[in-house]
Amino acid sequence: MKKISFLLFALCFLVVKPVFAAAELNIDCSPTVCNKSSLEPLFSNSLDGFWYPGKSITKTLNLKNSSPETREMALRGTRKSAITNLEKVMQISIVKGATVIWAGSVEDFYDQDKIGMGIFAPGVDSDYNFTVSMSSAAGDEYQNKETVFDLTLGFWGEPISTVNPSSGIFLNEVFANPDSGTEWVEIYNANNYPVSLAGWQFDDIAADGQSPEDMGTINIPALGLAVFEINSASYLNNDGDSARLINEKGIQVDIFSYTIAHKGLSWSK
């Protein structure tokens, strides 16, 4: 997660012209760091003028996932000043397009462990309107009050598996004639992100072998391996056969053909 700025609300009931400049902040996250486009606070008196009842300011945040993995992005506000009743009359809303991501008082905002901004595939970016407003019913008791918080933005949690990738999945090893136990195949994920194979099937030689076996859901780490154990006994022929991966659309993704399967020995690429 990347700490990007603090928000400052210093209250004075001098009515001034609202300031609408410097509205957008860009957050670009790579696998190791999130970079922001400005060192300035997202909101401040110097940028936005003093606050008064009914005032509302919207800034646009752009979040981008520049990592090679699908990731969740989120934000969190951390109180950096003393607790005041000002938090009850200041409101925050975060909106993406026509969808309200979160809305509530600044007091409620501080209580959130995180506010999820969505799941971002590699290279995807999205704009969010971040609006801060003050209740028009606020009275004189809020004069000369302030609330300050750090706004932390970035990746949250572990990379999310890409379900049923269109490429990069290969049969790496075939064990067709074990000394004991089941036959198995080893599958390699050549992608630099984790994958989940949901609804895939394993099959032997096309049109002349056994019925395909459902593989359940197999999760493979980035540039990693996973083993699929074949449920049926003697599924693969010891005198030569083919092992095939069939994706959820019924399309052959990879094939591994071999000749003689010697006892206790596997074939590998």
Domain residue extents for the chain: 2-156, 163-268
Burial track 42-70 (b if 16+ CB lie within 10 A, e otherwise): bbbbebbbebbbebebebebebbbbbebb
Q: What is the pLDDT of residue 106?
A: 94
pLDDT in tens, 128-177: 999 999 999 998 888 888 888 888 889 988 888 888 888 899 999 999 99
CA distance 262 to 236: 12
Residue, of 26 and 9, whose pLDDT is higher: 26
What proportion of the chain, given as a percentage, has pLDDT over 70?
90
pLDDT in tens, 199-226: 999 999 887 778 899 998 899 998 999 9
Average pLDDT, integer, range 106-132: 93
CA distance 77 to 75: 7
Average pLDDT, integer, range 245-261: 94
Residue, of 158 and 242, whose pLDDT is higher: 242
Burial track 89-107 (b if 16+ CB lie within 10 A, e otherwise): bbbbbbbeeeeebbeeebb
Lowest mean pLDDT segment, chosen from 3-17, 66-80, 136-150, 168-182: 3-17
Report which of 93, 13, 33 is spatially closest to residue 61, judged by C-alpha positions: 93
**What string of DSSP letters covers 43-94?**
B-HHHH--B-TT-EEEEEEEEEE-SSSEEEEEEEEEE-S---THHHHEEEEE
Q: What is the pLDDT of residue 22?
A: 35
Which pair of structure tokens corresponds to residue 190?
């050549």
Q: What is the pLDDT of residue 94?
A: 96
The number of residues making up the chain comes to 269
Query: Nearest 5 degrees, angle CA 11-CA 14-CA 18?
Result: 85
Quote the pTM value: 0.63
Q: What is the pLDDT of residue 39?
A: 66
CATH number of 163-268: 2.60.40.1260
Q: What is the mean pLDDT of the chain?
A: 85
pLDDT in tens, 256-266: 999 999 999 99
> How many CB atoms lie under 10 A from the CB of residue 183?
22
Q: How confident is the model at residue 64 (pLDDT cuts 50, 70, 90)?
A: very high
